Every structure is written in C-alpha cells, then in structure tokens.
Amino acid sequence: YGANGWQMMRHVIIPGAMPVIFAGLRIALGTAMIVVISVEFVRAKQGVGYITFYYWEVLNPEKMYAGLLVVMMLGIFLTYLLQWLQRRAMPWTR
C-alpha cells in the first residue's frame, strides 16, 4: 500500500505487538512482586515482606495479616495501573 519502513513500524508492527507486550508486562509484574516479597522474607531488615515474616515468626497474626493486606493492595493497584496504561496505549481495544 505504499508505506515506507517508519510508517509500517508505527501503524502496523508496533500496534500489532502491543497485546503481546502488555501480556508480558502483566506476567512480569506478578513475578516481580513475588520475587521482591520473597527476598524481603529471607534477607531484608525492612520492608513489607520482612514485617510480614517477622510477625509470623513472633506469632502476631493481626500484624502479619496487615502486611499481607498491604502486599495485596499494592498488587491490585499495580494491576489497575497497568490496565489503565494498556487502555491508553491501545484505544482500539475498548
């Protein structure tokens, strides 16, 4: 149809790749959350993972569950943020 390389990239290739890119970002976000919290359980001296693990060790379930609630809320916030970015980047999927 007469498009040059830049036009093909901008109007065909990048928009076609966006769903796969955002699927990868969703997977990476979940994996990153798990890794960060797990490392905080084991090695950190501060952070939400450390606090959650510490209160589990000292048998204080109320504060332990508060830490888990913070992790859950952070995960929900980041998921909604990524969905918002996806809607902004791909308006044709609405």
CA distance 73 to 55: 19
Query: What's the pLDDT score for residue 70?
Result: 95
Query: What's the pLDDT score for residue 94?
Result: 77
Concatenated DSSP letters of 4-22 = -HHHHIIIIIHHHHHHHHH
pLDDT-derived band at 56 (thresholds 50, 70, 90) equals: very high
What's the pTM value of the predicted model, to 2 decimals? 0.82
Residue 2, pLDDT above cutoff 90? no
Mind listing the pLDDT tens digit for each residue in 24-53?
999 999 999 999 999 999 999 999 999 999
CA distance 74 to 20: 24
Instruction: Tell me the chain's radius of gyration from C-alpha atoms.
Output: 20
